[in-house]
Amino acid sequence: MEKTKKIWLDGELVDWEKAQVHVLAHALNYGTGVFEGIRVYPTSNGPAVFRLKDHVKRLLEGAKVMAFDVKFSYDEVFEAIKDTVRVNGDGVDYVKPCFFLGGEEVGLNPINVDCRLAITCIRMGSYLGEGAQEKGATLITSSWKRPWNMAAPAGAKVNGIYVTSCLAKREAVERGASEALMLNAQGNIAECSGENIFIYKRGKLYTPKVTDSILEGITRNSIMEIASDLGYEVFEREVSRIEAYTADEVFMTGTAAEITPVSSIDNRPIGDGKPGPVCKELQDIFHRVVRGEEPQYSHWLDLVG
């Protein structure tokens, strides 16, 4: 990660080093925040934010789930994100807005705790490491389960929920893998620590449905639409580990990871252990889409200006 010059904090652009909160901030102690991860891509018309409208909508929906008293409108958040990207220059490729309870509070009660908004830009590069998108990522099934809807708002990007994802990611890295596959309460595949997952089997694409304790990913949605436009049949349904082990192809989608093929799960090669043609085709068109080279998807891009 490469830090940038300015962070947008509660309506002001401040120096990176001055974007601070108190150690007793409620969000720091109890995880009471919601966030988004959003990609910025170079196009022939300048930097563009990918599916910004959808990300801002999901961010505000997450704040609603958490019952935050948000002081900024949709339009204000939308423009603030573009302002933050613009001021930090062409090197930015990732932006993270976060509503969080920033008031100083000891105790779980979140009512009447001040809600703040921070927007941070960075240079992330390849999230899963150089070469992962070309060679494929290795997965292990984590012992940590994806939080399910009876225990937490699994469909919102709530800061505290990602503690489990961090534990799963640590487990994967310590076991020599790229990423962790997380199961839900029913023992079926939910998602990875920070990515949705697809399998391609017998000529069809499958991905866990929204009620399987997944985040309804925006990149996931994009790939479902692109794949359908290319003529693939795409189904949202329960997906088992066995189906993933025996799939012709498996790949992950996410804002940070974009589209990354999976070469193995639990030391079992997927297909021949190399990225398959379906994933490669979707990767190719996705990379053209985000750079403004596919006019039918141009509505997904918001130029920074």
Q: Any idea which residues carry the catalytic annotation?
A: 157
Cβ atoms 275, 56 nearer than 8 A: no
Strand partners, 216: none
**Residue 240: closest CA among 279, 202, 184, 196:** 184
- The vertex-288 CA angle with 285 and 292, nearest 5°, equals 140
**Around Cβ 66, how many Cβ atoms within 10 Å?**
21
User: Distance from CA of residue 204 to its chain's centroid?
Assistant: 24
| DSSP annotation of 222 | H
Q: What are phi and psi of 169, to 5 degrees?
A: -65, -45
Cβ atoms 288, 294 nearer than 8 A: yes
DSSP 197-209: EEEEETTEEEE--
If phi > 0 it is left, if psi is from -120 to 50 it is alpha, else beta; for residue 267 that is left
- The vertex-123 CA angle with 63 and 251, nearest 5°, equals 75
User: Distance from CA of residue 34 to its chain's centroid?
Assistant: 12
Query: How far is the C-alpha of 194 from the C-alpha of 45, rounded, in Å?
Result: 30
